[in-house]
Amino acid sequence: MHPLLQRQLKKCFGTAVPDGEPLRKLIEMVDAAYTHADVDRAMVERSMEISSRELHDRNEKIAAAEKKFRQIFENVSEGIFQIDANGKLLSANPAMASIFGYPNPDVLLLNLSDIAAQLFVNPARWSEIVAEIDRHGSVTNWESQMRRADGATIWVCKTIHRVEDGESRPVYLEGTLRDITVRKAAEAEREQMQQRVIDVSRQAGMAEIATGVLHNVGNVLNSVNVSVSIAVDRLRASRLNGLGRLATLLQEHQNDLSSFLTEDPKGKQIVPYLASLGESLLAEQREILHELSGLIQNVDHIKQIVKSQQNFAKSSGISESISLSELVDDALRINAESLERHRIKVERDIATDLVVKVDKHQVLQILVNLVSNAKHAMRCSAGERVLTIRAGALNADSSRLVFIVRDTGTGIAPENITRIFSHGFTTRTDGHGFGLHTSALAAKNMGGSLNAASQGLGRGAVFTLEIPLVLEKQKEHSWKAA
């Protein structure tokens, strides 16, 4: 019997086991209840012991997790922050304080009340970020210029998302940011270096073209000198001096001119002499006019060469209207003397009625390089030397303008097809490797492309320049590129 029950019965009846069947059953039931209560209490105590141990373990895990999170929060190199809907900074880690030039997060939070006005170089940028988060719930890798505590400008990349409560109501924004100033500076320096490479390449190309222009002008000047020398020689050998002597003779006999012309032997020779002199002077005039006409043509040729070079040297980046035929003519004119000297036949298929808006300098630069390269590729060719230039819209509905330059020269080895556009790569002993590299960059700057194709060494090459087509007037000529 349960000890507690024994004590209670003895207190009431003077004995631990009173007589009577009903009372005994009651005692048994109460005894069982006490026994069950002890078991239940023991189970509760055991459960509480287990729960207490589990709670302790859970608390230790939570504490460890919090410690780990705190270590990450405080030691991570990226800034971590929370911001309320009004743009006020709620929390920040040491990295964010360091990025913006504050000694610790507490000073950062104390000094910042409006991040848009205080941190962003362009405060409207924060409005753009908030609008994007409102639409999509987050922004990823958004770059902005921001200010440090000392006023210095830095570049920062941010990833931010919206935090909501259980009823999908926005509570605050939280995110990370990192300082990318060094990377942006490196990108800017790389762009400057690339531009310097382009400038140097263009200058080298310009020097080569200028050399060609001077050579062409020199050859034309040789023809000019020949024409001038012939004209001078004709004038020096002219019979005009005899006409002066004849005038003097006639003045001496002006009082008896009639009898002098009809009776004097010298006077009788004057009329035949004048007829012969007139024929001679007319012949001299024709010869001198012929030489002067050639001289005018040569001077005009020089002017055209210089004009082509001036067109080539103009600043790029400005689109202007130009006839497609005129554009190709300028590129050929700069190389005209060399093409003729190397006996290269030029075949053209140009949409002569097509007027387009292009960056004239850049397109001309590419065409001059392609024609010059084709000339060099064919100058030692034993077979027929043919340079073919085609230019026009790809087809009637195309939005692309295509220039194709084909030669019958030395061709391109398969392993070099992808290398010829690399900076500094050349197969010519006198080449510098700038031309095709610069041309490919220029084509890319215009939203186009420059490609090469060849069936191998000794089988010629084809270069295709493709750029956006902007018409000045409706085109009527188009073809499919071969």
Q: Can you tell me the distance from the alpha carbon of 406 to that of 187, in angstroms, rounded to the nearest whole number? A: 38
Q: Taking the alpha carbons of 241, 246, 247, 252 in that order, is the dihedral positive or negative?
A: positive
Token pair recorded at residue 74: 């405080």
Token pair recorded at residue 53: 């141990």
Q: What is the pLDDT of residue 194?
A: 72
DSSP letter (8 states) at residue 233: H
Secondary structure (H, E, C), 270-321: HHHHHHHHHHHHHHHHHHHHHHHHHHHHHHHHHHHHHHHHHHHHCCCCCEEE
DSSP letter (8 states) at residue 105: H
Q: What is the pLDDT of residue 477?
A: 44
Q: What is the pLDDT of residue 480?
A: 44
Q: Can you tell me the distance from the alpha carbon of 151 to that of 331, in angstroms, rounded to the nearest whole number? A: 53
Contact 348, 389 (CB under 8 A): yes
Token pair recorded at residue 202: 């263009």
Token pair recorded at residue 65: 């997790």
Q: What is the pLDDT of residue 388?
A: 94
Q: Can you tell me the distance from the alpha carbon of 424 to that of 393, in angstroms, rounded to the nearest whole number? A: 32
What's domain 76-179's superfamily in CATH?
PAS domain (3.30.450.20)
Q: Where are the domains of the chain?
A: 3-72, 76-179, 197-310, 318-468
Contact 390, 350 (CB under 8 A): yes
Q: What is the pLDDT of residue 463?
A: 94
Q: Can you tell me the distance from the alpha carbon of 420 to that of 156, in angstroms, rounded to the nearest whole number? A: 39
Q: What is the pLDDT of residue 100?
A: 93
Tokens 């073809």 locate to 479
The count of residues in the chain is 482
The one-letter amino acid code at 257 reads L
Contact 356, 469 (CB under 8 A): yes
Burial classification of residue 43, based on how many CB atoms lie within 10 Å of its CB (0-12 exposed, 13-18 middle, 19 or more buried): exposed
Q: How far is CA 412 from CA 114, 384, 390, 452, 469, in A?
A: 63, 18, 20, 9, 29
* pLDDT in single tens digits along all 482 residues of the chain: 667 666 666 666 666 565 666 566 666 777 777 777 777 777 877 777 777 777 777 777 766 666 665 665 566 778 889 998 778 889 888 888 999 999 998 999 888 888 888 999 999 999 899 899 989 889 999 999 999 999 999 999 999 999 888 777 878 899 999 999 998 988 888 888 877 766 666 666 566 556 656 655 665 666 677 677 777 777 777 766 677 777 787 788 778 777 877 788 877 787 787 778 777 778 877 887 777 776 776 676 666 666 655 655 554 556 778 888 888 888 887 777 778 888 899 999 998 778 888 888 778 878 888 988 898 889 877 788 999 999 988 776 678 899 999 999 989 888 888 888 887 677 766 555 667 887 888 888 888 999 999 988 888 999 999 999 887 654 444 444 44
Q: Can you tell me the distance from the alpha carbon of 76 to that of 82, in angstroms, rounded to the nearest whole number? A: 16
Q: Can you tell me the distance from the alpha carbon of 294 to that of 301, in angstroms, rounded to the nearest whole number? A: 10
Residue 162, sorted as left (phi over 0), alpha (psi -120 to 50) or beta, turns out to be beta
Long-range contacts of 267-270 (CB under 8 A, 24+ apart): 270/246
Nearest to 373 by CA among 325, 438, 310: 438
Sequence-distant (6+) residues with CB within 8 A of 153 are 121, 145, 146, 147
For the structural domain made of 318-468, what CATH number should be given? 3.30.565.10
SS3 of residue 111 by DSSP? helix
Q: Can you tell me the distance from the alpha carbon of 305 to that of 318, in angstroms, rounded to the nearest whole number? A: 22
* Residue 255: CB atoms within 10 Å: 8
Contact 342, 379 (CB under 8 A): yes
The pTM (predicted TM-score) of the whole model is 0.42
Q: Which helix (H) or strand (E) holds 403?
A: strand 400-407
